[in-house]
A and B are shown apart, each in its own frame.
Chain A
Amino acid sequence: MRLPLLALLSRGPAHGYELKQDLEQLLGSAYPQPNVGQIYVTLGRLEKSGLIEGEEVAQSSRPNKKIYRLTDAGTEALRAWFEDTADEPRVRDDFFMKLALAPRTGLADQIALINKQRREYLNTMRNLSKLSATEDRDNRIAHLLIEGAMLHLQADLDWLERCQEELEGLE
């Protein structure tokens, strides 16, 4: 979450709670609760590494708040972030290892594992569909996020189908 926070700060100085609200607004209900504690911890680390600078601002009725702004080093880090491509998605390796090792242990049936995993994915898919129906229509970023999650899940389900086709023939 370091770089997203830097990116939010590139528009201008802000304090931790504002950043939490920014994230909420940007990502919509698919990212329900940005953890404010995590945001403060991350801001502390960013400050320590010189990517942002904090300034205490006195408030009359409440404790001081700290306003952060991006440093030149921070802008550089952001540029490098945009320059870099992201890692490709991976196969869910925990499930895959279960599937691969089940026959050796005699403790689980491969087809039963696939069916169980499929139910899990389908339920998540259903939740995403509901989320998509309730999310603000104008929040394109939030809709793209949900759609991305659904397409990944679709690929996982297609792959489970392939596993089932292959492994059922062996029984």
Chain B
Amino acid sequence: MSHAADPDDNGRIPLLRAEGLVKTHHGEGAPAHAVRGVDLSVRRGEFVAVSGPSGAGKSTLLHLLGGLQRPDGGSIWLDGECTDSYSEARWANERRRRIGIVFQFFNLVSNLTVADNVELPALLAGTGPRQARAEREKLLAELGLEGKARSMPGELSGGEQQRVALARALVNHPRLLLADEPAGSLDSKGTREVMRLLSRFHQRGQTILLVTHDARLASAADRVISFFDGRIADDAELGGTTARGTGLSGVLELKD
């Protein structure tokens, strides 16, 4: 077995690597085996989607990778560094600096303005107020939210709230962006918007791990991991070409 912190074939250390991850939820009734032995590696600059039915354990996997839950077994390496000994405080610190997370239900602080929601993690990470403000202004402009800085989250549409959440996740320039069903509570226009933004940040080099049951969203990634019943069923690079080569000519067929 190769060691998890070992470089890949190109001599680079993966940004994120997990080996033998196991997580079982003990609630009422029978224990739920959410993650059952997952090995995974994400290279710098990759956009990876984990896709599968609800209840397959995708979100648990993302929570493990972001340190929001601790695995029952297995290990996670960030940038080649083993996180086994990380305390809760250390994980919280990593989530401020190196890992940005967006959630299905946005999780914005409802009694803070949009501007404060975005600036807060920057200030917590030790960025000066002036710099935090500049970063916030840049991101909100980039996400088409210039006029919304003084709004409260509750005054915004779902799509807008998710864009604020994206700005908050990216304000400290994390090396890794984790996205948990980011379009799960949005309509199809909001979904397309999230897709467009994730693609845009990825094109600029942002490493992204996206968890979604929506194949349209997953197809924005350049690698799709199919997750079933706590395990990886398939791991496919999307080249954009199809095996049969028919590609798009079949979108609309006018016969006869």
Are A and B subunits of one complex?
yes
Interface centre among A1, A129, A149 (most CB of B within 10 A): A129
Q: Evaluate contact between A119 and B234: CB separation under 8 angstroms.
A: yes
A101 contacts the other chain (CB 8 A): no
A122 to B216, CA, bound (A): 8
B44-61 contacts to A, CB under 8 A, are 52-53
Interface bracket on B: 35 or more
Q: Evaluate contact between B248 and A161: CB separation under 8 angstroms.
A: no
B27 contacts the other chain (CB 8 A): no
Known: A120-B244, A125-B216, A154-B216. A30 touches B251 (CB 8 A): yes
A4 to B252, CA, bound (A): 12
B172-206 contacts to A, CB under 8 A, are 188, 192, 195-196, 199
Q: Evaluate contact between A123 and B239: CB separation under 8 angstroms.
A: yes
A67 contacts the other chain (CB 8 A): no
B201-256 contacts to A, CB under 8 A, are 214-216, 218-220, 224, 226, 228-229, 233-234, 236, 238-244, 247-249, 251-252, 254-256
A161 to B54, CA, bound (A): 11
Interface centre among A2, A34, A111, A118 (most CB of B within 10 A): A118
A126 contacts the other chain (CB 8 A): yes
How many residues on chain A are close to B (CB under 8 Å)? 42
A168 to B215, CA, bound (A): 20
Residues of B within 8 A of A30 (CB): 248, 251-252
Closest chain-B Cβ to A124's Cβ sits at a distance in Å of: 6
A123-171 contacts to B, CB under 8 A, are 123-133, 145-147, 149-150, 153-154, 157-158, 161, 164-165, 168
Residues of A within 8 A of B226 (CB): 115, 118
The residue that B254 contacts in the complex, of A4, A122, A130, A132, with Cβ under 8 A, is: A4
Q: Evaluate contact between B248 and A125: CB separation under 8 angstroms.
A: no
Q: Evaluate contact between B220 and A27: CB separation under 8 angstroms.
A: no
Contact with B along A100-111 (1 / 0, CB 8 A): 000000000001
Contact with A along B39-75 (1 / 0, CB 8 A): 0000000000000110000000000000000000000
